Structure 1
Amino acid sequence: MKAQWLLFFLLFSCAGTAWGQTCTYTVEPTVDFGSITGLPTPQIDVSADITVTCPAMDPPGERRVCISLPVGSGGVSFADRRMVNGGFDVQYQLYRNAGRTLVWGNVAGGQERILLFPLVGGTRVATVFGRVFSGQTGKSVGLYQSVLSGIEVREGTPMQLCSAITNIFILPDTITAQLDIQPDCTISANPLNFGTVNSVGVQDASSNLSVTCTLNGAYTIALDGGTTTGDVNDRKMQLGTDTIDYQLYSDAARTQVWGDTAGTTVDGTGSGDPQSIPVFGRVPAQGPKPEGTYQDTITATVTF
């Protein structure tokens, strides 16, 4: 009797799970840091959500979703994100955690956001935590933006590292980070002293206002009619019941009365630093007046 032997070669191959995009992604389009007035910037913390919904798998299986955010327009690197407005920028950052210690970047840098889904699927929210850093100065007024396009997602199994997942998609959605800087101004004034005279002839004097406004912020300065008459065209300094006529001008030739109505105010643009705005005064020749100190108080108003 002869024995016959049959040799069976059993072949087994193991391959990673492959599927198309099965989850849906809802991306909140704006990380809106709102509006601030003036500088320096305060620290501003806001957030936006990326909502991911994954169905149950057939055959059943758990799932790992990896989400990468790009640097964004205006940014230098993941560590140095910036919103821009013309030639100016504001530094900000996006994080994976509420404590804002883990920068949200990409898979290559190990800074992706990971969501895990059970066999039955479900919905998870990946919150984007944003921060504008405090203490930034020298910025122009205007809307600062950074557009993040090319949000990458990877769908794989829980056992796969994000870097090993080849099921990769780019979402059509974009996220815009933005901050609006509004102008702010402060104003201070120095006394205008016409000096001491023995007779009331023509007396010229000048002083200045100091105005500090946010860079490129438009402003308008008005001077009222004073506490004596309240009339821009009939300004007077007073001592008891006696008065001395005078006038304030915006030009050294003393032809443009500086008032508080359209066409009589002074316009300017902020530099971010104190600006000295001259005020030119004149006392015209007039009849004899009693001795003493004559005064009037003018209110300067800056509108921006």
Structure 2
Amino acid sequence: MLRFAMLSAALLLPTVAWAQSCSFGVSAMNFGLVDTLSGSSSNSTATLSVNCTGLLLQRILVCPNLGTGSGGATASARQMLSGANDLNYQLYSDSARSVVWGSYAWPYPPTAPGFALTLNVLGSGSASQTIYGAILGGQATAVPSTYLSTFSGSHVEFRYRATPGNDCSTGAGSVDRPTFTINAIVPANCLLAIQNIDFGSNGILGANVDATGGVSITCTPGTPYTVSLSNGTTGSAPTARKMSKGVETVTYGLYKDNARSQVWGDAAMPGSTVAGSGSGAAQNLTIYGRVPAQTTPSAGVYTDTVVVTVTY
């Protein structure tokens, strides 16, 4: 007798879960040398890059939340720090720098600029976004130094999840925390504005003719400076400068004081320059001019050019 036995076996296969996974990187934002005396803003950018894997054709919402950074923030600006000194800046999601880049966990502003990434038929995909930065104008009192803010840990919360929606107002989804820095250098700097000296119209030069002009100097806080005046086009000394009309001249001098006793010259004459220290605000220096009594040349317009030099 033949007997047949039928064996049945159940083949159990492991279940594979294809959860999405994303990794991020952000380049440093380097503003370089920043002129805080100009009154205008300074711009820079950084690049956010993301690589994701998951199910083919899967749509992944990315919510790149950025907080204050290590420099902290005020109600209207993020800050970079150099010791106890700060420099105000802001991050934006648009090139016009009108929409602040924020975080659901930070009240100003309360959302991050989300964007969607759709994976390809192999279940992978990548994308990049530009982070726009601006150092705000009107910071003439910023001390010359190197300023820094670091984004890491709780300051960076890049959330991502598979969803058809665009809601970045919550902390839903997986998280990655890349680290990047924002830095700027405020160099020592000075700006000059000059007021010319006009001795007016005169007949006979039989007595002193006095007039004043000025130098307005704005330097970054704590920046020492020295202002010197050249001896003019044909002059040989601070009190023997010459205004010319052709070959004819009128002698004049430039001084630091109203009594016209302290000459204002250049480094070739020790003690004749004017020194100071910047505060971030304009400092006005008066130049006292005098045409002494002398032989009167023929009538006409007499001029000279004096070079103002600021050393800092």
TM-score, length basis structure 2? 0.65
Question: Closer, same or farther in 2 for the Cα pair 1:296/1:113, shift >3 Å?
Answer: same
1:54-93 paired onto structure 2 within 5 Å: 54=52, 56-57=53-54, 63-72=60-69, 73-77=71-75, 79-83=76-80, 91-93=88-90
In the alignment, structure 1 residue 212 sits paired with structure 2 residue 217: yes
1:230 aligns with 2:231: no
Q: How does 1:177-256 map to 2 (within 5 A)?
A: 177-178=183-184, 180=186, 182-191=189-198, 207-216=212-221, 218-227=224-233, 229-232=234-237, 235=240, 237=242, 247-250=253-256
Preserved contact between residue 229 and residue 309 of structure 2 (Cα < 8 Å) = no
| Counterpart pick for 1:152 among 154, 157, 161 | 157
Tell me which of 51, 54, 72 is aligned to 2:49: 51
- Once the 2 structures are TM-superposed, how far is the Cα of residue 133 of structure 1 from its aligned partner? 4.9
- The secondary structure found in structure 2 opposite 1:66 is strand
Tell me: CA distance 1:237–1:122, structure 2 relative to 1, closer, same or farther (3 Å): closer
Task: Quickly say closer, same or farther: Cα 1:57–1:218, change in 2 above 3 A.
Answer: same
CA distance in 2, matches of 1:52, 1:179: 29
Q: Where does residue 277 of structure 1 map in the other structure?
A: 286
Q: Distance in 1 between matches of 2:90 and 2:195?
A: 37
CA distance in 2, matches of 1:124, 1:269: 50
For 1:117 and 1:206, locate their aligned partners in 2 and report how far apart those are by CA, in whole Å. 75
User: Contact 2:79–2:149 at 8 Å: present in 1 too?
Assistant: no
User: Residue 290 of structure 1: CA displacement?
Assistant: 3.9
Match in the other structure for 1:126: 129
Task: Provide the rounded CA distance (Å) in 2 between the counterparts of 1:122 and 1:246.
Answer: 77
- Counting matched residue pairs gives 274
What's the secondary structure of 1:226's corresponding residue? coil
Rounded to whole Å, the distance in 2 between the matches of 1:232 and 1:37 is 37
Correspondent of 1:176 among 182, 185, 189: 182
Distance in 1, Cα, partners of 2:248 & 2:59: 93
* Partner of residue 266, structure 1: 274
- Stretches of structure 1 that go unaligned for 5 or more consecutive residues are 1-16
Match of 1:3 in 2: none
Q: Give the drift of 1:110.
A: 2.5
Q: Return the offset for 1:100.
A: 3.7
Q: How has the CA–CA distance of structure 1 residues 275 and 215 changed in structure 2, closer, same or farther, with 3 Å as cutoff?
A: farther
Task: Quote the offset at 1:123 in angstroms.
Answer: 1.7
Aligned-residue identity in percent: 22
User: How far has the Cα of 1:170 moved from its partner?
Assistant: 2.7
Quote the Cα distance in structure 2 between the aligned partners of 1:112 and 1:290. 77
Instruction: Say whether residues 1:26 and 2:32 are aligned partners.
Output: no
Q: Give the AA of the match of 2:133.
A: G
SS of the residue 2:54 aligns to: coil
Structure-2 separation of matches of 1:58 and 1:238? 84
What is the SS of the residue equivalent to 2:232?
A: coil
Structure 1 CA distance for aligned equivalents of residues 296 and 96 of structure 2: 71
Matches within 5 A, 1:281-292: 283=292, 290-291=295-296
SS of structure 2 residue aligned to 1:184: strand
CA deviation vs aligned residue, 1:32-57 (integer Å, no higher than 9, x gap): 27533732215x44321011122x33
Determine the C-alpha separation between the residues in 2 that align with 1:239 and 1:226: 10
String of CA shifts for 1:183-203, please: whole Å, max 9, x gaps.
32212233468x998867xx6
Unaligned runs of 5+ in 2: 1-16
Assess if the C-alpha contact under 8 Å between 1:236 and 1:243 holds in 2.
no
What's the CA shift string for 1:122-142, capped at 9, x where partnerless? 2211210223455x3644463
Deviation readout 1:183-230 (Å, 9 max, x if unpaired): 32212233468x998867xx6957342313244355432222234x43
> TM-score, length-normalised on structure 1?
0.66
Q: d(CA) in 2 for partners of 1:224 and 1:164?
A: 66
Shift in alpha-carbon separation, 1:231–1:302, aligned structure 2, 3 A: same
| Cα distance in 1, alignment partners of residues 251 and 195 from structure 2 | 24
Aligned to 1:297: 304
Q: CA RMSD in A?
A: 4.4
